[in-house]
Amino acid sequence: MPDPNGFLRYDRRLPARRPVPVRIMDWREVYPPAGEELIREQATRCMDCGIPFCHDGCPLGNRIPDWNDLVRTGGWDAAVESLHATNNFPEFTGRLCPAPCEAACVLGLGGQQPVTIKQVEVEIADAAVARGGLRPQPVPAPTGKSVAVVGSGPAGLAAAQQLARAGHAVTVYERDDALGGLLRYGIPDFKLEKRHIDRRLAQLAAEGVRFRTGVDVGVDVTAVHLRAEHDAVLLACGALQGRDTPETPGRALRGVHQAMTHLVAANRVVAAAGEGRPALATLPDGTPIDAAGKHVVIIGGGDTAADCLGVAHRQGAAGVHQLDLYPEPPADRDAARDPWPTWPWVLRSYPAHEEGGARVFAVAVQEFVDDGTGQVRAVRIAEVTVEKVDGRRIVTALPGSEREIPADLVLLAIGFEGTEEQPLLSQLGVTRNGRGAVDARPDWQTDADGVFVAGDMHRGASLIVWAIAEGRAAAAAIHAYLGGAGTLPAPVDPARQPLAAR
Ligand SMILES: Cc1cc2nc3c(=O)[nH]c(=O)nc-3n(C[C@H](O)[C@H](O)[C@H](O)COP(=O)(O)OP(=O)(O)OC[C@H]3O[C@@H](n4cnc5c(N)ncnc54)[C@H](O)[C@@H]3O)c2cc1C
Ligand code: SF4
């Protein structure tokens, strides 16, 4: 029986982050482990309310009150089992999820701080490793059916694991030289050290999943070949088409780049250092790209922008400005606008924001300014207001508000425009919709029979937790399509949206 008064006895507490002056000297994760005493105390704050809205907040339907109570009572092995029943990769979500479950925690109704659900999750995930490692599950007799998964991000890997555990022969194709999708070369190590991915990949391999890296499907192997070789195909290629701003004067100057160009280059240097290889951060054409000693301007306010900020500080930037089109959000939930248990519009500060840099809200870039040699030397910005009229965004600059910010390196982190247009799609006869995503029928099939889609490629740029949930659900649909015995768990359907006020 959970403790109904725990939240009255204990305040919400998280483990202290590593000190800023220490952590910006390396690429290691920012959070140290919480320690058993703290995490059991925090799990005690979960009262196991009658209708746990956190379940609906979490796209995976994680059994949060169950594992909170198991942690409270020290039942770590059972907590590990309960968490893995709904989530293939809690070590990723426990570190990186923005935790919509916490926004939906019933404690928020009474003005209390939510349970530290995400922290409890990562502690259980790490306990799984500490208590004997991620042991492969025994796989059933082969079904004789085979599935190709294109893309090794969290959606593709979750689907691959579910299908392999159901007895299907699964091959994951990845065009990069290493597996993990955005978790590998998009998200920096200070948020997710790559050993977590490698450990999980070893488990998948031991369960029979085969991996083919360095294979760009549609180029190195045709989709026709893939369809001939496999009984079903899952597309999990992500939404990697970066939004640009070609109309802004000076966009073609040297030093103005897509954020992902910089992040991937930086992550590759860290990966090489881990293997004892020296490496330079370079663009694909070999041009160096590094923030050391530079004035950096990051345009955008989301995860990608915050990751660029943390990278710039670790590379030794002279100064960093982060520009956001929208006004500074409030510190607390506006219940009229975003009633509990929906996801509130509030100021989100990432650990990277503690490390320095200036955030500038309600501004838009008017020009990237040339130093006379074709290299950017500043951005000219104006204060703006943003309105929605008939669903369209109208940005109006305030007259006389223009000014310059020095800039040697400008990073565009202004979002993604869906999945990339690539030969694979035309070979399969699959088209992108108006948002650049690939539509799925209720059974996760695309317009091409036997070809399924999941993750960001279907949903548009989203979150790891949604990618895993869609990967699991698409795997269930593929299992049914292949005539597999029984059913696999399907936490979401293709039309499922986050909790929202109607
Ligand atoms: C910088 C950044 C930071 C982020 N931080 C967070 C965070 O903190 N928390 C969070 O929840 N989410 C975060 N996200 C979002 C999250 O990473 C994505 O939602 C998630 O990775 C999507 O998973 P996916 O499997 O659908 O696709 P992806 O992870 O994008 O993987 C798709 C894979 O498909 C491969 N591929 C594409 N085409 C082919 C082809 N033709 N042949 C072979 N392989 C192919 C790609 O190389 C890639 O590896 C972040 C995103 C970015 C860009
Ligand atoms: S995956 Fe995200 S939403 Fe689900 S329980 Fe974990 S932190 Fe909460």
Neighbouring residues of 482: CB distance < 8 A, sequence distance ≥ 6: 143, 145, 147, 168, 231, 232
Can you name the residues that pair with 380 across neighbouring β-strands? 367, 404
Helix (H, G, I), strand (E, B) or coil at 39: helix
Which residue's CA is the closest to the ligand 2 atom numbered 3?
58
Q: For helices 259-274 and 303-315, give the axis angle rounded to 10 degrees.
A: 50
**Torsion over CA: 134, 135, 140, 141 (sign):** positive
The residue to mutate among 192, 216, 464, 468, having the most atoms of ligand 1 within 8 angstroms of its beta carbon, is 464
Nearest bound ligand to CA 68? 2
Q: Residue 337 Cα, ligand 1 centroid: separation in angstroms?
A: 30
pLDDT for 426 equals 97
Q: Residue 4 Cα, ligand 1 centroid: separation in angstroms?
A: 40
Q: Residue 90 Cα, ligand 2 centroid: separation in angstroms?
A: 8
pLDDT for 134 equals 92
Give yes or no for residue 97 CB within 6 A of ligand 1: yes
What is the pTM assigned to this prediction?
Answer: 0.97
Q: Residue 211 Cα, ligand 2 centroid: separation in angstroms?
A: 28
Residues of the chain with confidence (pLDDT) below 50: none
pLDDT for 502 equals 64
Nearest bound ligand to CA 104? 2
Which residue's CA is the closest to the ligand 1 atom numbered 39?
237
Q: What is the mean pLDDT of the chain?
A: 96
Question: DSSP characters for 279-331?
Answer: ---B-TTS-B---TT-EEEEE--SHHHHHHHHHHHHHT-SEEEEE-SSPPPPS
Give yes or no for residue 364 CB within 6 A of ligand 1: no
Q: Residue 94 Cα, ligand 2 centroid: separation in angstroms?
A: 7
pLDDT for 28 equals 97
Q: How many whole angstroms separate alpha carbon 412 and alpha carbon 299?
A: 5
The residue to mutate among 42, 86, 123, 465, having the most atoms of ligand 2 within 8 angstroms of its beta carbon, is 465
**Other CB atoms closer than 10 Å to residue 196's CB: what's the count?**
22
